[in-house]
Amino acid sequence: MSNSTSFSFLVTGATGYIASWITRDLLAAGHTVYGTVRSLAKEDKYRHLLRAEQEHPGKLHLVEADLLDEGSFDAAAQSCDYVLHTASPFKIQVKNAKKDLVDPAVKGTKNVMRAALKSPRVRRVVLTSSVAAIYGDNIDIQDHETGKFGPEDWNTSSSLEHQAYSFSKTEAEKTARSMMKDQKEKDLITIHPGFVLGPSLAQRKDSTSIDFMLNLLTGQFKMGAPDLYFGFVDVRDISAMHIQAALMEGGSGQRFIGITESTNILGLAEKVEKSFPDVYPLPTRILPKLLLYITGPFMGLSWKFIRKNIGIAIAFDTTQTKRDLDFEFRPLLKTVRNQVEQMRSSGWID
């Protein structure tokens, strides 16, 4: 990717799964990136970003910042044309939903938005939201005549007690939009990825997405997989969506859904098997829903979650994304193959 005009971007949580690709792609296009990290002392966390700077024409500035440290993003934002706010906790099982999910997501968003609003240079904020801010449970699809979730939909069924991660993403987006509505100098666009897959740039396995693939490939679901459907997307496509949304003409306020294909865990396993036949102990059958009601609570799945999600297929309307960003998604088969290849080359799996 190349760009005749270079800009300066603030990328929050630059070492993250998605943010690492955004940082790399911006550097490849010749832009300047101010990437925030929690600690500059922990070079092993961001060494891959230093390598990306060496390999590409752009310039990287790493800045210490914390989502809950008010003002820690201000100085970097003063030097940037665009803010790409990707930093937010992605944890499904937590002890304290408010402390571990909602507070970092909402307070962190306030902190970054304030920095953007204070900066005379920032033109636009692109916020990494999620399809979790569009729907809470798969059963919500039954309220749609079209049978597809779209950018106009909002999650109204999640709470601190049920689907707390989805609730945190919804509240964070609402916060960002509320802070933007009383001014006209800057605008906001939100990106809504589904379940993100694809190769990782960092040699870290602590991403929920990567952990899921490791479990799939090492036999966690060998005896059978829950009939749970997701909308999947390639991490490289989500990176491209952020950058194109930042640089597009107009588009203020839009919500862009990032989904390549919707399928269940078994469908994903079939794609792995197609690229790597007879290599991994993959599931070949669906676990009965009744069995999940018995075993689910031991896996952190409540009866309410099982009732509202298991066995319910979902679909998404990405017309706006493809039209307004002039975008085409990678096939999920390619995403899965590339991710497994990266995991093998990294020595995470055989």
Distances from the Cα of 240 to the Cα of 25, 275, 329, angstroms:
8, 25, 10
The confidence score (pLDDT) of residue 2 equals 43
For residue 45, what is the DSSP state? H
**Strands 82-85 and 59-64: what pairing?**
unpaired
The confidence score (pLDDT) of residue 156 equals 95
- Domain annotation covers residue 247: yes
- Work out how many domains the chain is built from and give that number: 1
Amino acid at 219: G
| Helix ranges restricted to H, the chain | 17-28, 43-55, 74-77, 97, 103-118, 164-180, 208-217, 235-247, 265-275, 289-295, 303-309, 319-324, 332-345
Q: Global pTM?
A: 0.94
The confidence score (pLDDT) of residue 12 equals 96
The confidence score (pLDDT) of residue 100 equals 82
Nearest to 53 by CA among 25, 81, 11, 83: 25
| Helix ranges restricted to H, 56-102 | 74-77, 97
Which of 323-345 are b and which e, b meaning 16 or more Cβ less than 10 Å from the residue's Cβ? Answer: ebbebebbebeebbbbbbeebee
- Domain annotation covers residue 350: no
Count other Cβ atoms within 10 Å, centred on residue 27. 23
The confidence score (pLDDT) of residue 249 equals 93
Q: What is the CATH number of the domain that holds 69?
A: 3.40.50.720
The confidence score (pLDDT) of residue 68 equals 86
- Domain annotation covers residue 2: no
- Domain annotation covers residue 1: no
| d(C-alpha 32, C-alpha 30), whole Å | 7
- Domain annotation covers residue 132: yes
- Domain annotation covers residue 286: yes
- Quote the domain boundaries for residue 268: 8-345
- Domain annotation covers residue 184: yes
Write out residues in the chain with pLDDT < 70, as ranges.
Answer: 1-4, 89-94
Amino acid at 323: R
